Amino acid sequence: MKNTIQILSLAILLASCAGNAENILEKPSESVPTSEGIPDLIEILDGDENGYINPYEALDVLLQLNKEQNGDLSINDLKSKASAYLKEKDKEILEMFNEVDQNKDGEIQIDELDSFEGGFMEEFAKEIDTNNDEVVTFSEMKNFDFTALALANEVEINERIHTIFEEYGNNVIDLAKVDSDKLGRYTQWDENRDGKVSKEEAHLYLTADNIPVEFTVEGTTAYMEGVITSALPSKVLQLIFEHPELTTIEMTIVPGSIDDEANLRAGLYVYDRGLTTKLNSRSAVASGGTDFFLAGKQRIVEKGAILGVHSWGGGNVPATEVPKEDPVHTKYLEFYEKVDVPTSFYWYTLEVAPAENMHTMTEEEIKRYKVRKN
Ligand SMILES: [Ca+2]
Ligand SMILES: [Ca+2]
Ligand SMILES: [Ca+2]
Ligand SMILES: [Ca+2]
C-alpha cells in the first residue's frame, strides 16, 4: 500500500515535469502528440478541484477508474477517461450556465441570476463574480468552489442562532413546544438530552454542520465530527492508511452530507476495510451521516443516540415523485444492499420526512431496518 502511494506521487511529479518541459521548449501543444491527455490526467487527479493534488484524493480517483475498468486500467484507458470526464464536467457546467444566461449573450448578468430558480444563486453572485464587473463568465462559474459556499462561517452561524432563538422568545428552546416540522432537527441539537436546546448546544451542532468532517484518533478508535463533503473519501483512505490499528469509527455529531456520491464511496471504503461504526449515547447523526454510519461492518447504537432520516433533495422534483425504477435511486439501493441494510429502508427514508424536515428513528425502526449489526 505504502509503495503504491509513493509510486503514485512520483507518477504525478513526473507527469507535471513533462508538462513543464514542453513549455520550456515552447512547442505549440498541438504539435506534441505524446503529451496528449497528460494535462487532463493531472487535472482529474485533483478530485476536489482546489488546484492541489493530495495523494489520497488521487488514489480515490484511481480506485474509481480502476473499478470502472474491472481492475484492468491501462494508461490509454486513463488518458481517454480523463479527457472524457473533464469534457463531461465542462458540459454540465455549460448546461447550467446556458440555462441561467437567458438572453444568450454568453455572459450572466446579475438580474439573470436573480430570476433563476427562485433567485437561489443571487446571493452567491458577488462571490462567483471574482473580478467584480457585475457579469459572471463561464470561466468564473467553472472555477467557483460551490462547496465552500454551502458552509456558513462563525458570524453566519451566530446570526442564525439569534434569529431562531428570537422566535422562541428566550434562551432555550423547549422541544415540547416545537412544531412537528422542526422537531426532528432541533431534537438533534439537544446534546445533553434534557428536552431543551440551549444556545451553546445550538452552536455546537451548527458548527459541526459547517465544518468538513475531521477524524481524531485515540487508540483503535477514530472519532468523527463534521459535515460530509467531497473530501471524505480521501480522508477515509488516509485514515485507513496511516492507522492500520484502527477498528472503529465513533461518530459524534455528523449532521449530513453535501456530496452523496462521495459519501457512499467513502462508506464502501469503511465497509471493505471491515471497520465498526459506533454511535454513543450523545451521538447525533442525520441524513448522509446516517448513511455513513450504516457502512459499518458491525454497527453499535448505544441507548440515547439520535439517528435522523429524511428524503434527499436538491432536484426540481421531490424524490418521492421520481418513479421507483428511475436510475437516480440506484446508487442508494446498491449501497444499502452492499452494507446489508434492507432496501425497504431507502423507500422509508423518502416517505418518512421531506428533505427540509428530519425524522428521528424510533427504537422499533432501528430494529426493523437492521441498523444495529453484530
Ligand atoms: Ca485537490
Ligand atoms: Ca446573459
Ligand atoms: Ca465577472
Ligand atoms: Ca439540552
Question: Would you say residue 213 has pLDDT above 80?
Answer: yes
In the reported structure, the alpha carbon of residue 297 is separated from the centroid of ligand 2 by a whole-number distance in angstroms of 51
DSSP state of 361: P
Which residue type is seen at 37? G
C-alpha cell at 202: 445550538
Q: Which residues pair with 224 in a beta bridge?
A: 215, 251
Which pTM was predicted? Answer: 0.82
Distance CA 300, CA 84 (A): 42
In the reported structure, the alpha carbon of residue 109 is separated from the centroid of ligand 3 by a whole-number distance in angstroms of 9
Same domain (yes/no): 116, 241 = no
The pLDDT tens digits for 168-205 are 887 899 999 999 999 999 999 999 999 999 999 999 99
In the reported structure, the alpha carbon of residue 25 is separated from the centroid of ligand 2 by a whole-number distance in angstroms of 40
Distance CA 367, CA 342 (A): 11
CB atoms within 10 A of CB 130: 13
Same domain (yes/no): 114, 182 = no
CA of 130, nearest ligand number: 3
Which residue type is seen at 178? V
In the reported structure, the alpha carbon of residue 369 is separated from the centroid of ligand 4 by a whole-number distance in angstroms of 28
In the reported structure, the alpha carbon of residue 144 is separated from the centroid of ligand 1 by a whole-number distance in angstroms of 14
The pLDDT tens digits for 2-60 are 333 333 333 333 333 333 333 333 333 444 445 555 677 888 898 877 788 999 999 99
CA of 136, nearest ligand number: 3
Q: Is the residue at 49 inside a domain?
A: yes
Number of separate domains in the chain? 4
Same domain (yes/no): 220, 360 = yes
Instruction: State the residue range of the domain holding 61.
Output: 2-89
Convert 244-274 into a string of H (helix), E (strand) and C (coil): CCCCEEEEEEECCECCHHHHHHHHHHHHHHC
Same domain (yes/no): 238, 361 = yes
CA of 42, nearest ligand number: 1
Lowest mean pLDDT among 56-60, 125-129, 236-240: 125-129
Q: Is the residue at 94 inside a domain?
A: no
